[in-house]
Structure 1
Amino acid sequence: MNKIFGWSLMVAVAMLGVSCGNSTSNATGENAATDSTLVDPAQTAKASTGKVEFESPVFDFGTVKEGEILEHIYAFENTGEAPVILSQVSASCGCTTPSYTQTPILPGKKGEIKVSFDSNGQVGKQQKIVTVVSNATNGVTTVQLKGEVLAK
């Protein structure tokens, strides 16, 4: 009885080994890895990502008096093929506060980043950088706020 069970087990394992060797063949008997209809995952990832494009990434506020609070909205469009999600928007200085579109921006749609700059204590030429982190192909981008603050 044990010999029959042992032989049956060996035959089953042998058949499994033979059938596993054929699992990558397609209908023509060629290896599936050489099939030209397969898509490269790297190309698919690139083709299915969003892209952030700002209408105007630099805003020059000109000359203002110290103490003024300036606000500017940076509009952008998702020119890619998948939704863009902004994960972090941060300013280079505590005097600059950004807020941004929190929902996914679908392909062809627009989003915005609103920046508020408090010029108190910021006398002289100013250049503030706001860094935008997203899942887009250009995952880290920046916008700038610049100008000059005159003393009170």
Structure 2
Amino acid sequence: MKTGILITVAGAFLMTIVSCKNDATQKIKTENVEIAAKRDAKSTELPIMTFSITDHDFGVINEGDIVEHSFTFTNTGKTPLLIVSAKGSCGCTVPEWPKEPIAPGASGTLLVSFNSNGKPNMQNKQVTITTNTKKGKEILKIKAMVTPKNKVKA
């Protein structure tokens, strides 16, 4: 019985050694390597979102005013730019962005609205843009000096 087990184990060991003689690199087709190299080179090409400005100062405004500014950008990369989302740092800052892809070399605008109601004094807000760029996020900043409403004394 022990001899039978020993012969089975030895046979399995010999089959393992014999079956591993084939060199896997001989099975690789050079045309597939070239295709994979081209594909991988393109995967590193990402869009680049280039803004003319990233900060805007509304100056002095009155509390309750709703002001807007359009930020202009260009896709200076080699692949289409996708804006996944844009979020203001609070509910008073609302961005609107293009939902369709921006082709390489094309430009777009991102409109930011700021509602100053209930926001007296100096206000600094930002919009975080989630994109398919290398950084993945872009930041726009706005600020305004909000003149408070006159309070009615009772």
Q: TM-score, normalized by length of structure 1?
A: 0.75
Residue 65 of structure 2 is aligned to residue 68 of structure 1? yes
- Describe the superposition over 1:9-49 as per-residue Cα deviations: whole angstroms up to 9, x where unpaired: xxxxx9xx85966222659xxxx97x8x94583x4322x21
Matched to 2:91, the amino acid is: G
Partner of 2:43: 45
User: What runs of 5+ residues in structure 1 fail to find an aligned partner?
Assistant: 1-13
Unaligned stretches of 5+ residues in structure 2: 1-17, 150-154
Q: What letter is aligned with 1:90?
A: K
Residues 78-109 of structure 1, C-alpha deviation per residue, up to 9 Å, x if partnerless? 01000000001000010111110111000010
TM-score normalized by structure 2?
0.74
Q: 2: CA distance between counterparts of 1:64 and 1:138?
A: 34
RMSD between aligned residues? 2.7
SS at 1:22's partner residue?
helix
Whether the 8 Å contact between 1:52 and 1:138 is mirrored in structure 2 is no
Corresponding residue SS for 2:96: strand
Structure 1 residues 6-85: aligned runs within 5 Å: 22-24=26-28, 26=30, 38=37, 41=40, 43-46=41-44, 48-85=45-82
Percent identical pairs in the alignment equals 31
**Counterparts of 1:50 and 1:137, CA distance in 2:** 8
Q: Which whole-Å CA distance do the structure 2 matches of 1:19 and 1:124 have between them? A: 74
Are 1:89 and 2:86 an aligned pair? yes
Aligned-partner Cα distance in 2 for 1:38–1:131: 35
1:133 matches 2:130: yes
When structure 1 is superposed on structure 2, of 136-145 and 79-88 the one drifting more is 136-145
Does residue 115 of the first structure (1) align with residue 119 of the second (2)? no
| Distance verdict in 2 for CA 1:65–1:24, change over 3 Å | same
Deviation at 1:137, TM superposition (A): 1.8
Question: Structure 1 residues 38, 60: CA separation in 2 closer, same or farther (over 3 Å shift)?
Answer: same
CA pair 23-100 structure 1, distance change in 2 beyond 3 A:
same
- Counterpart for residue 121 of structure 2: 124
